[in-house]
Structure 1
Amino acid sequence: MLKKLNNFEELSLTFKWNIPEFYNIASDTVDQDNYQNRIALINFLQDGKIEEWSFIDIKRSANKLANVFDHFHLEANARVGIILGQCPETAVAHMACFKSGKISIPLFNLFGTEALHYRLLNSRASLVICDNIGLNKIFEIKDRLPDLKKIICIDSNDEKSNVFNFKKLLEQASDSYITKKTKSSDPALIIYTSGTTGGPKGALLPHRTLLGHIPGVEIPHEFLSSSEPVTDLFWTPADWAWIGGLFDVLLPAWHFGIPVVSYRSQKFDPEVTFDLISKLEIKNTFLPPTALKMMKSFNPNKTIKNLKLRTVGSGGEALGEDLLEWGKQILGVGINEFYGQTECNLTVSNCGAIMPTKQGSIGKPVPGHEVRIINENGELIKEPGLDGEIIVKSDTPVSFLKYWENDKATKQKVKDGWLYTGDFAYKDEEGYFYFKGREDDIINTSGYRVGPSEVEDAVISHPKVSMVAVIGIPDKLRGQVIKAFVVPMDHKNVLNQNEILKKSIQNHVKLKLAAHEYPRIIEFVYELPLTTTGKIIRKDLRENN
């Protein structure tokens, strides 16, 4: 927990990590004695009804499932695939894994069969917990998963060979369980990267990674408290299969004894999002950039009644001036942008409560993290305005242990005590970081290096643009020219490739950016290729051009 100081620099200078030798995520959350009677989870159902789960409810269910694991004779560090969305069973499954010394593998419930097969085969998972939809997918691939022994389904009563019903198993199990004494460095989860720059890799995260996340969650959410009365309430549309859902929201909130809202949805719906935030009086939320853009497109300027938001954090893609201003006007709060990745999350952030926010900046290094920018020769860049690769000191407790069974990739990622992110940024004279993009995404045009986000920010501020992605394409004269793939508000413009609108967008960007930064080529499209976490897959756009 951070000291509540009014000065960011003082906070950074006085912060010290205190990571115990023995630590377990479950012991630090659902097992906490003083949290037992608090509400842990508010499950918002499709029919509008609400279920409330206290911490003791989650604990008892997790104890039962941990006993089931032991009954199944799962070995120490056995991998358990969890193919579920936001629901109580997901949280219970993770806690049961932490309690019993297993390694949980959060898996997106909309993954296709091949995506599931790759991850379950690579991790050698011996157990899967899923719903009926996931069960049908597993049946298609289980003959190709030699290590998979048992399946637990949360909503199927049709028990077959080695397929068990979640509820029935828990009814037969004891709700008493002694959580295993784990070291803080013991493995807890494998989270597979989204694969924007190659195949997905399994980042093996230790129990201490939750403690490592706490400063990075407190900074964008402007300090949190475990004291009563509890006034905060967290929710995110980000699925709990990803680091942003689990470690930016669910687990840190429970570290403080703060309740979290869960809602299972098949796709993001901005209207439902506004309704949920208003109806349940959400106080704190992590809204990925794509979600914010869709919300703005749905509601550009109408005031929403009964919003009680205290903090909004966002990260994953850069936000533009237009979107940040919209957030202040419509959501009623400033949006604190932050930066991180699965292997080393929440290392740079803004905090509007104690530091001035700067347009386009992802903030400053979070207390406890040493973050640098280096050039292509590995030399530290001290001069403001020069971009280079972001590297993070790898001894931080938030850092991953390694890539699962991939030593080569691990050695490429971590060198001489520094984690190489593959992301590029620059700093200003006050130490604020400005995200440029991944090296493959940076456009070299007429001798200038242009980050896609700054062009996309300018394009999306045009009133007739819904979404945009830009790439560089080869050009004999300029090296590369900027091409923008634009999802227009009116899809009719995709059919006729409206040249007047293209010219209007180009002129709009010229007024905002330097002459070399406007998109010389614009193509209207119905949709953009996105990862399941909402990040633009620019490599797909490059390969198709």
Structure 2
Amino acid sequence: MSQPVLLHDLLAPHISSDKIAIINGDRRITYREMGDLVARYAGALVAEGLERRDRVAIFLPRGIEESVAIFAVSRASGVFVPVNPLLRGQQISHIVSDCGARFVITSKVSGDMIAECLADIDDVTVLFVEDICEANPLTVPSHNIGEDLAAILYTSGSTGKPKGVMLSHRNLLAGTRIVRTYLGITGEDRILSILPFSFDYGLNQLLTSVEQAATIVILTFRFGDDITRALRDHQITGLAGVPTVWAILTKTSPLLSKTELPHLRYITNSGGSVPTSTVTALRKLLPQTQVFLMYGLTEAFRSTFLPPEELDRRPTSIGKAIPECEVFIVTPSGQRAAPGEPGILVHRGPTVSLGYWNRPEDTAKVLKPHPFHDAEIGGEIVCYSGDLAVQDDEGFFSFIGRNDAMIKSSGYRISPSEVEEAVMATGHFRQVAVIGLPDELAGQKVHALAVAGGDDVDVTTVLRSVAASLASYMVPRVIEVVDELPVTPNGKIDYQRLVKERVAS
């Protein structure tokens, strides 16, 4: 069997198999059926005029259709741009406009909303999955190579609107191969998917499952017991989550303590650190399950993981570099950090992304020449995470904190300025500052401080208005009305002081 070069090559060896590929509620699809649909979706895109490297935004609920669309865009030589279905109008418009998408794949249920989002954007063709599943299958091969752009995943930074992280086919295949290796994923696995495919962590579950011809079970849950039932009923062997998921399972899922899950081989965490008390509770509730604590960022995918056997010795560590990659720490002076010396965590390897779409200046801040390679023999590009970490004498890393103001809540990266803009747009405030405060369930919660612009403000009404323009995970838990916001000597809002005061109170 030839090695995969393009994303859709992961599916190719299995398209004659009648094994179940995806379970989504009461629906099931085999690898044979998935291969047929991928060819039909790809055929519809090419028939509508898709050309090599055209961007295709995918706005669909996480499920069979979104999974098929991801592989179909690759098959048609396009670039897929998954849009989180929790996003609202302006956010969807920003992504479609920013990446210059020529096509949007959606469902007729979302047709009116998408039409409204695209009202001010020219030259975008909307394709409905209800129609394209009947198109003629594409038969010609893709013209892309592994170095070509495969996907753009939008992620928020500390300032401004979300930026699109560019991932090549080789990036995605490397991430698939690496994670499958250290988790030992095989075709016998049944993977429970609860994370969005617009999140690199969630997308990787789909890709590793398809690569190995495993079965992925897609679940949208409301309560912790929903997850527990799915784990039990589908005999799930692997589950990936963010800290919020583990808090929900250990604190609000009474069924978990009463349910035996002998098939659950492993669980993995990324998207933020898990409190030691939560890890302890998980291990007590799931004594036969391996717990993998991981660290990563979209710009370099996954950087480290802690082997389960090290949990007792290093409960707060993020582990060592993933296979095929190197991770090291650079001090503020640009030197390689000694053990115990904090600095910025830097990632080197095949999962380092291509940078940010149409943002060369932002890209240059994150992707830089290797600081310790001899320039005369040619260096290479590495990824500066912006996260502070420290390494011990045995080479294990520990996360210290973010080196910027970005908020990380429930596994999502949230730009404070984007939330501030939405709160200010209500017209009730003169000044707004948004910060992240510690939260047991979400890791951080979004907290807004605002200076009123006039008469008394009905904060409840304001929050409703903000909720209409932002995804639910971005809406502040509280809008705290204050007389003034503290500033630094340079006249900027003193965010660090705001956080310290509220954490201390």
TM over 0.5: yes
Q: Residue in 2 aligned with 1:271? A: 225
Map 1:28-107 → 2, pairs under 5 A = 29-32=10-13, 34=14, 36-45=16-25, 49=26, 51-107=27-83
Match 2:343 to one of 379, 388, 391 = 388
Secondary structure in 2 aligned to 1:52?
Answer: strand
CA positional deviation for 1:367 = 1.8
| Amino acid corresponding to residue 280 of structure 1 in structure 2 | H
Q: Residue in 2 aligned with 1:316? A: 271
Matched, 1:233 2:190: yes
Q: Residue in 1 aligned with 2:238? A: 284
CA positional deviation for 1:195 = 3.6
Contact 2:63–2:218 (CA<8 Å) still a contact in 1? yes
Q: Residue in 2 aligned with 1:246? A: 203
Tell me: CA distance 1:152–1:115, structure 2 relative to 1, closer, same or farther (3 Å).
Answer: same
Contact 1:389–1:422 (CA<8 Å) still a contact in 2? yes
Contact 1:233–1:261 (CA<8 Å) still a contact in 2? yes
How many Å separate the matches in 1 of 2:156 and 2:336? 29
| Amino acid corresponding to residue 224 of structure 1 in structure 2 | I
| Amino acid corresponding to residue 423 of structure 1 in structure 2 | D
Q: Residue in 2 aligned with 1:377? A: 333
Secondary structure in 1 aligned to 2:274?
Answer: coil
CA positional deviation for 1:177 = 2.0
Match 1:224 to one of 172, 178, 185 = 185
CA positional deviation for 1:251 = 0.5
| Amino acid corresponding to residue 229 of structure 2 in structure 1 | D
Deviates more, 1:340-349 or 1:210-219: 210-219
Secondary structure in 2 aligned to 1:372?
Answer: strand
Q: Per-residue displacement from partner, 1:399-434 (whole Å, max 9, x unpaired)?
A: 211211111111111111221111111111111111
Deviates more, 1:66-75 or 1:196-205: 196-205
Aligned length: 419
Secondary structure in 2 aligned to 1:302?
Answer: helix
How many Å separate the matches in 2 of 1:404 and 1:187? 10
How many Å separate the matches in 1 of 2:280 and 2:268? 14
Extract unaligned runs of 5+ from structure 2. Answer: 370-380, 411-435, 443-462, 481-494
CA positional deviation for 1:41 = 2.8
The TM-score normalised by the length of structure 2 is 0.75
Tell me: CA distance 1:290–1:279, structure 2 relative to 1, closer, same or farther (3 Å).
Answer: same
How many Å separate the matches in 2 of 1:169 and 1:299? 40
Map 1:123-162 → 2, pairs under 5 A = 123-148=99-124, 150-153=125-128
How many Å separate the matches in 2 of 1:219 and 1:424? 27
Q: Residue in 1 aligned with 2:96? A: 120
How many Å separate the matches in 1 of 2:346 and 2:472? 23
Q: Give RMSD over aligned pairs.
A: 3.3
CA positional deviation for 1:308 = 2.0
Q: Per-residue displacement from partner, 1:360-410 (whole Å, max 9, x unpaired)?
A: 1111111211111111112111122x32110112xx221211211111111
Matched, 1:337 2:293: yes
Tell me: CA distance 1:307–1:144, structure 2 relative to 1, closer, same or farther (3 Å).
Answer: farther
Match 2:395 to one of 415, 431, 438 = 431
How many Å separate the matches in 2 of 1:430 and 1:206? 33
How many Å separate the matches in 1 of 2:313 and 2:405? 26
Q: Residue in 2 aligned with 1:492? A: none
Tell me: CA distance 1:283–1:187, structure 2 relative to 1, closer, same or farther (3 Å).
Answer: same
Secondary structure in 2 aligned to 1:239?
Answer: coil
Q: Per-residue displacement from partner, 1:135-167 (whole Å, max 9, x unpaired)?
A: 23212222211131x2123xxxxxxxxxxxx23
Secondary structure in 2 aligned to 1:328?
Answer: helix
Matched, 1:201 2:163: yes
How many Å separate the matches in 2 of 1:291 and 1:26? 30
Secondary structure in 1 aligned to 2:101?
Answer: coil
How many Å separate the matches in 2 of 1:310 and 1:140? 45
Contact 1:112–1:137 (CA<8 Å) still a contact in 2? no
How many Å separate the matches in 2 of 1:251 and 1:373? 30
Contact 1:219–1:349 (CA<8 Å) still a contact in 2? no
CA positional deviation for 1:92 = 1.2
Match 2:306 to one of 336, 350, 358 = 350
How many Å separate the matches in 1 of 2:12 and 2:182? 26
| Amino acid corresponding to residue 42 of structure 1 in structure 2 | I
Contact 1:215–1:367 (CA<8 Å) still a contact in 2? no
CA positional deviation for 1:216 = 4.0
Map 1:469-508 → 2, pairs under 5 A = none
How many Å separate the matches in 1 of 2:113 and 2:67? 22
CA positional deviation for 1:24 = 1.0
Q: Per-residue displacement from partner, 1:201-224 (whole Å, max 9, x unpaired)?
A: 101111111222135413652x12
Tell me: CA distance 1:168–1:536, structure 2 relative to 1, closer, same or farther (3 Å).
Answer: closer
CA positional deviation for 1:129 = 1.2
CA positional deviation for 1:354 = 8.7
Tell me: CA distance 1:218–1:533, structure 2 relative to 1, closer, same or farther (3 Å).
Answer: farther
| Amino acid corresponding to residue 105 of structure 1 in structure 2 | V
CA positional deviation for 1:295 = 1.5
Tell me: CA distance 1:376–1:75, structure 2 relative to 1, closer, same or farther (3 Å).
Answer: same
- Sequence identity, in percent? 21
Q: Residue in 2 aligned with 1:170? A: 133
How many Å separate the matches in 2 of 1:62 and 1:411? 36
